[in-house]
């Protein structure tokens, strides 16, 4: 599992990073077979990058034959410094890195996909609808490398900034005083164009945190623009189901490296190098207990209906790219 930094220190300047630099962990096969690649963006309301949708998902698709990577993008835990375009830019840099190094990494540069969850799905969707605007913004080694994803998988995605919005995600991303123009730009159902790549979309009808209308709005926009897509609505299930299997239910998420920025911020707050009010410091320490397993949580149950989604996505990818039906 190799760690790749996405930015040089001189390129990255998010003020609440506290030494963190966005990165990705690679789960690549050791043979020299050229394979499709799936970059995974866990959710977390743009406040954290959740471990429950990180390594566990990467290993699932790795076992199916894909090259995979988990992207730990920039988040705004304290809701103090809006992220603006930074998470989207982190993901575009991840795509460019994989595409630039495709030959040595044994990746098919025309089969690089994003797979996002919740707010991570919003970041992936943002890349999918806006990538063309950023094709000529890089300089140096990435100047001629496209950030276009060849397909996207959006799992219980945050989509709209309208009536069915997950407000917390948009506050972390754009700030509490975001302009109408900013909210419109990040309301993804309004931004789909003919340049949007094919999309696999899934959610549960009973999602209590991000209303399922988010997915319906996006599917309608895809339909209107004639973008190839698959859309699955499962009958029951809470938000944040990840793989929805026994491993997820038992909290066997793998390494919690996606919390790197969260822990760096916590350390900076506690040692006084990132000053915050005392009540914020206390809230952050309570949150740390949850992330480190010191807070007991209700036992989850696997969801037999929902846990089939990775196989459905795999089948969709094979049809989309005209791949053979078994093996990669």
- Written as one string, the DSSP assignment of 234-262 is ESS--S--TT-SHHHHTT-----GGGHHH
Tell me how far apart the alpha carbons of residues 309 and 222 are, in angstroms, rounded to a whole number.
20
Give the model's pLDDT for residue 278.
87
Give the model's pLDDT for residue 326.
60
List, for residues 168-183, the tens digit of each pLDDT value: 999 999 999 999 999 9
List, for residues 25-59, the tens digit of each pLDDT value: 999 999 999 999 999 999 999 999 999 999 999 99
Greatest alpha-carbon span in the chain: 58
Give the model's pLDDT for residue 317.
98
Domains along the chain with CATH numbers: 2-252+298-320 (3.40.50.1820)
CA distances from 321 to 108, 151, 255 (A): 11, 10, 31
Reading the block at residue 221, the tokens are: 């926009």
Give the model's pLDDT for residue 72.
98
Beta bridge partners of 38: 68, 113
Reading the block at residue 63, the tokens are: 């076992």
Reading the block at residue 55, the tokens are: 């390594």
Q: Provide DSSP, 118-176.
A: THHHHHHHHHHHHGGGGTT---GGGTT-----SEEEEES----SSTT--HHHHHHHH-T
pTM of the model: 0.96
Give the model's pLDDT for residue 157.
98
Reading the block at residue 168, the tokens are: 């917390």
Beta bridge partners of 25: 3, 70
Give the model's pLDDT for residue 77.
93
| 3-state SS class at 20 | coil
Give the model's pLDDT for residue 86.
98
Q: Are 72 and 8 in contact (CB under 8 A)?
A: no
Q: Phi and psi at residue 230, in whole multiples of 5°?
A: -125, 145
Give the model's pLDDT for residue 279.
85
Tell me how far apart the alpha carbons of residues 200 and 230 are, in angstroms, rounded to a whole number.
5
Give the model's pLDDT for residue 1.
66
> Which parts of the chain sit beneath pLDDT 50?
none
Tell me how far apart the alpha carbons of residues 134 and 123 are, in angstroms, rounded to a whole number.
15
Please list, in sequence order, all residues whose beta carbon lies within 8 angstroms of the beta carbon of residue 141, skipping any fewer than 6 positions away.
100
């Amino acid at each position: 599992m190799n760690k790749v930094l996405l930015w040089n220190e001189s390129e990255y300047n998010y003020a609440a990073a506290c030494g963190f630099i966005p990165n990705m962990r690679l789960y690549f096969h050791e043979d020299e077979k050229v394979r499709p690649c799936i970059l995974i963006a866990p959710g977390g309301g743009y406040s954290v990058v959740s471990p429950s949708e990180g390594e566990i998902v990467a290993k699932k698709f790795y076992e199916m034959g894909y090259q995979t990577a988990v992207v730990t993008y920039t988040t705004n835990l304290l809701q103090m410094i809006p992220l603006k375009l930074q998470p989207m830019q982190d993901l575009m840099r991840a795509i460019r890195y994989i595409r630039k190094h495709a030959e040595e990494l044994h990746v098919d540069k025309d089969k690089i996909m994003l797979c996002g969850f919740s707010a991570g799905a919003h970041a992936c969707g943002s890349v999918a609808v806006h990538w063309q605007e950023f094709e000529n913004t890089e300089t140096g080694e990435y100047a001629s490398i496209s950030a276009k994803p060849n397909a996207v998988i959006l799992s219980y995605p945050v989509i709209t900034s309208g009536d069915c919005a997950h407000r917390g995600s948009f506050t972390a991303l754009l700030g509490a005083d975001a302009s109408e123009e900013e909210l419109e730009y990040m309301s993804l159902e309004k931004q789909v164009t003919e340049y949007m790549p094919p999309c696999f979309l899934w959610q549960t009808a009973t999602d209590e945190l991000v209303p399922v209308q988010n997915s319906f709005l996006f599917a309608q926009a895809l339909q209107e623009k004639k973008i190839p897509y698959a859309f699955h609505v499962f009958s029951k299930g809470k938000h944040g189901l990840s793989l929805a299997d026994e491993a997820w239910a038992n909290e066997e998420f793998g390494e919690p490296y996606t919390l790197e920025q969260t822990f760096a911020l916590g350390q900076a707050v506690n040692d006084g190098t990132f000053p915050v009010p005392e009540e914020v410091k206390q809230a952050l320490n309570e949150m740390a207990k949850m992330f480190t397993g010191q807070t007991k949580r209700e036992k989850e149950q696997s969801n037999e209906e929902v846990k089939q989604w990775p196989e459905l996505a795999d089948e969709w990818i094979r049809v989309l790219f005209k791949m053979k039906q078994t093996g990669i």
